[in-house]
Amino acid sequence: MAGGSGTRFWPKSRQALPKQFLNILGDKSMLQMTMTRLLPLTGKQNITIVGNKEHASLLAQQVKGIADARLVLEPVGRNTAACIATVAFLIAREDPEGILVILPADHWITDLKGFTETLAQAARAAEETGGIVTIGIPPTFPATGYGYIRADTAPGAAKVEAFVEKPDLETAKGYLASGNYFWNSGIFVCRASAMLSEIEAHLPGLYVSLKALSDCETEEAATAFIDRVYPSLPAVSIDFGVMEKTDRAYLVKAGFGWSDVGSWDALYALSEGDTRGNVTKGPVLLEDCSGCFMDSGGRLLAGVGLKDIIVVDTRDAVLVAPRGRSQDVRDIVQRLRDGKREDVL
Amino acid sequence: MAGGSGTRFWPKSRQALPKQFLNILGDKSMLQMTMTRLLPLTGKQNITIVGNKEHASLLAQQVKGIADARLVLEPVGRNTAACIATVAFLIAREDPEGILVILPADHWITDLKGFTETLAQAARAAEETGGIVTIGIPPTFPATGYGYIRADTAPGAAKVEAFVEKPDLETAKGYLASGNYFWNSGIFVCRASAMLSEIEAHLPGLYVSLKALSDCETEEAATAFIDRVYPSLPAVSIDFGVMEKTDRAYLVKAGFGWSDVGSWDALYALSEGDTRGNVTKGPVLLEDCSGCFMDSGGRLLAGVGLKDIIVVDTRDAVLVAPRGRSQDVRDIVQRLRDGKREDVL
């Protein structure tokens, strides 16, 4: 799933260049890192990327040389349920019992071996249970920015007891202490047929709208169908539309490190700083600064006497915010939209 | 006097474009504002500007249309005593008893009428006493960044009792309370002959080195002489070299508002902010910010949740510092010099 708009990484992420296409955590983009990470499990042939039609050439360019991925281009974004249903129908044409590993293209993951093993375990659980297996992340701090999943803590696949909304800090502390709550990674593993039958049960309108995809005999026909039907689809998340309702949800605990890298703050936390906790990219000169994140787009960035400040410099826009406030970058993006500053969006 | 290098306004001020040439406080540069301010007193014909040869074309360009000023170009900077001695010799050739009003080109002054009256009063005092009259600024807060002059507080010109160095905060508070201390504005008014005899008495080497200027019959000869002799002149301030030693120093209290605009902090203090105390220039978007100074060079500057932060954005460099630390910009400039980053100096 590579259709996100990633406004929280403004000014580096733009409408034309969302987070999944940015090299914010290394030499490769988040999308390229995600594909590379899957290769041991899927091989080069079995990757399907759903993205926005607007990013078609960017997608093609970033995929090249990494995988022979199929691209599914959405004419408009319609949240994750439509995206997942579309791919499930496309895969089911070829192999209804084929295992789907559904995951966002812009997450950060450590420990490739643990990742591969966890997904293999989830695939076995998906085959054995015939349900939808989520990957639950054992929480390491009382995060208030993630949704949680309550499930049994026994080893192996556990029945999901409940999906719960992003909690406040007190509630999150309780979740962390209980050991029965896991962060919702947005990664799902299931048979194509299982996903389709759950969508049929819980989002019947979406199911009916997309069902004719099964009958498209050529890629061209499928593309034309998607272009035609997509604008009318409901924009619903798979969590809200299916996972919170189905009684066939299972959870496998992640054996790897994970972050959704949802903000400049999260990126700072994942980056290695100098002895004073400063993370810098490009030409940066700091005098008596600590805990800062300074990302230069080429210009010299000079900081004096700063504590815990984020500066992101690009060709046409500069963001300055204290650490802890980078979620509010969305407000800036909204005001730019309202102000018709398309040039910097 | 327009020969300063103004490193404290980096990244806007550069070696090739020091503070006196910048429009940091309005539509005109500091130099242009200084000239304009003097016109009621001097007319267009009687202004001499001493600047650095490196800035010759910039000086000519900025003077144009404001005054028919004489330009004296220093091949190298040699502090204020050399600068003032040179002009005193040049003026004395034409009119030894002519009154010099010597002042920095990069200061901020309010109340043109008060300014003109104060200088007229100082000129009368210079004629009556035959001494050097300084303009003392009645302090409005316990400044530690200015030198002070101790003098009688009676109206009219007072005998200067002492020039004192920049004090620490406690001492400055004492000065402020006493009423006998004034900020040293660096503005001096005197007959050309008086300045020359004081320089002869207290800086005889400088006097002897420059004396032959009196004999230069053409501008070309004077320029050639200055080019030749300047590198060998001592670099001494007029305060240290003459004013602290002479017993012919007088003080007239300023009847106008004044600042030397010595830092981004000082500029912030002089600028009118919005209701939350933010001062912005150019395209700036602030979300929940207060007390900030944001100067965009054209790019969009976006601030989120900032308090008392200075951001100065230019084509090739960006400065970020908390208010109160802008003096330390000099450290950045020094490190750029050490690092041979001439491109951004």
Q: Confirm if B191 and B99 have CB atoms less than 8 A apart.
A: yes
CA torsion angle for B56, B60, B63, B69 (degrees, to 10)? 80
The residue extents of the domains of chain A are 7-259, 264-344
- In chain B, residues with a C-beta closer than 8 Å to the C-beta of A319 are 302-304
CA torsion angle for B4, B7, B10, B15 (degrees, to 10)? 60
Q: Phi, psi at residue B266, to the nearest 5°? A: -65, -40
| pLDDT tens-digit map of A245-273 | 999 999 999 999 999 999 999 999 999 99
CATH of the domain spanning A7-259, picked from 3.40.50.300, 3.40.50.720, 3.90.550.10, 3.40.190.290: 3.90.550.10
Q: How far is CA A310 from CA A125, A265, B51, in A?
A: 43, 8, 40
Is residue A227's pLDDT more than 90?
Answer: yes
Q: Do A11 and B302 touch (CB under 8 A)?
A: yes
Of B287, B301, B324, the CB nearest to A318: B301
What is the spatial distance between Cα B102 and Cα B81, in angstroms, rounded to a whole number? 11
Q: How far is B7 from chain A (nearest CA, A)?
A: 14
Of A287, A302, A324, the CB nearest to B317: A302
| pLDDT tens-digit map of B7-25 | 889 999 999 999 999 999 8
Q: Do A300 and B341 touch (CB under 8 A)?
A: yes
Of B296, B316, B329, the CB nearest to A300: B316
pLDDT of res. A154: 76
Q: How far is A266 from chain B (nearest CA, A)?
A: 17
Please tell me which residue, B121 or A27, carries the higher pLDDT value: B121
Cα-based angle B158, B159, B162 (whole degrees, multiple of 5)? 120
- The residues, ordered by sequence, that sit 6+ positions from B65 with a Cβ below 8 Å of its Cβ are none
Please compute the mean of the pLDDT values over residues B194-210 and round it to a whole number: 98
- In chain A, residues with a C-beta closer than 8 Å to the C-beta of B293 are none
Is residue A303's pLDDT more than 90?
Answer: yes
Interface of B with A (CB under 8 A): 10-11, 285, 287-288, 296, 299-306, 309, 311, 313, 315-322, 324-326, 328-329, 331-332, 335-336, 341, 344
Collapsing DSSP states into helix, strand and coil, what is residue B100?
A: strand
pLDDT of res. B298: 94
Q: Do A303 and B320 touch (CB under 8 A)?
A: yes
Residue B328: CB atoms within 10 A of its CB come to: 17
Q: What percent of chain B has pLDDT over 70?
A: 100
Please tell me which residue, B326 or A197, carries the higher pLDDT value: A197
Structure tokens at B298: 């054209």
Of B304, B313, B315, the CB nearest to A332: B304
| pLDDT tens-digit map of B105-133 | 999 999 999 999 999 999 999 999 999 99
Mean pLDDT (chain B) is 95
pLDDT of res. B5: 81
CA torsion angle for B177, B180, B185, B190 (degrees, to 10)? 170
Residue of B nearest to A339 (CA): B285
pLDDT of res. B55: 96
Pairing verdict, β B300-304 and A317-322: parallel
Confidence of residue B74 (pLDDT cuts 50, 70, 90): very high
pLDDT of res. A327: 86
Residue of A nearest to B339 (CA): A285
Q: What percent of chain B has pLDDT over 90?
A: 92
Confidence of residue A37 (pLDDT cuts 50, 70, 90): very high
pLDDT of res. B156: 84
Q: Do B303 and A320 touch (CB under 8 A)?
A: yes
Q: Confirm if B179 and B130 have CB atoms less than 8 A apart.
A: no
| pLDDT tens-digit map of B120-168 | 999 999 999 999 999 999 999 999 989 999 998 777 899 999 999 999 9
Interface test with A, best of B299, B315, B338 (most A CBs within 10 A): B299
Angle B30-42/B112-129 helices, nearest 10 degrees?
A: 60
Confidence of residue A152 (pLDDT cuts 50, 70, 90): confident
Q: Do A344 and B300 touch (CB under 8 A)?
A: yes
Residue-wise DSSP of A211-255: GGGGG--SHHHHHHHHHHHGGGS----HIIIIITT-S-EEEEE--
Q: Do A306 and B321 touch (CB under 8 A)?
A: yes
- In chain B, residues with a C-beta closer than 8 Å to the C-beta of A306 are 320-322
The pTM is what? 0.89
Is residue A68's pLDDT more than 80?
Answer: yes
Collapsing DSSP states into helix, strand and coil, what is residue B333?
A: helix
Residue of A nearest to B283 (CA): A317
Q: Do B287 and A332 touch (CB under 8 A)?
A: yes
Q: Do A325 and B305 touch (CB under 8 A)?
A: yes
| pLDDT tens-digit map of A314-330 | 999 999 999 999 889 99
Of A305, A315, A344, the CB nearest to B325: A305
Q: B70 exposed, middle or buried (CB, 10 Å; 0-12, 13-18, 19+)?
A: middle
Residue of A nearest to B334 (CA): A287
Is residue A6's pLDDT more than 80?
Answer: no
Sequence-ordered strand ranges (E) for A53-210: 70-74, 99-102, 108-110, 132-137, 148-151, 158-164, 181-191
DSSP state of B343: G
Q: Do A322 and B306 touch (CB under 8 A)?
A: yes
Collapsing DSSP states into helix, strand and coil, what is residue A175?
A: helix
Q: Do B299 and A319 touch (CB under 8 A)?
A: no
Q: How far is CA A161 from CA A124, A158, A244, B30, in A?
A: 20, 9, 9, 71
What is the spatial distance between Cα B234 and Cα B213, in angstroms, rounded to a whole number? 17
**Cα atoms in the 13 Å half-sphere on the side-chain side of B9:** 26
Q: Which of A276, A204, A277, A193 is nearest to A241 (CA)?
A: A204
Residue of B nearest to A329 (CA): B304
What is the spatial distance between Cα A233 and Cα B197, in angstroms, rounded to a whole number? 92
Q: Do A328 and B320 touch (CB under 8 A)?
A: no
Is residue B214's pLDDT more than 80?
Answer: yes
| pLDDT tens-digit map of B293-328 | 999 999 999 999 999 999 999 999 999 999 999 889
pLDDT of res. B167: 96
What is the spatial distance between Cα B345 and Cα B342, in angstroms, rounded to a whole number? 5
pLDDT of res. A72: 97
Please compute the mean of the pLDDT values over residues B37-41 and round it to a whole number: 95
Is residue B6's pLDDT more than 80?
Answer: no
pLDDT of res. A175: 96
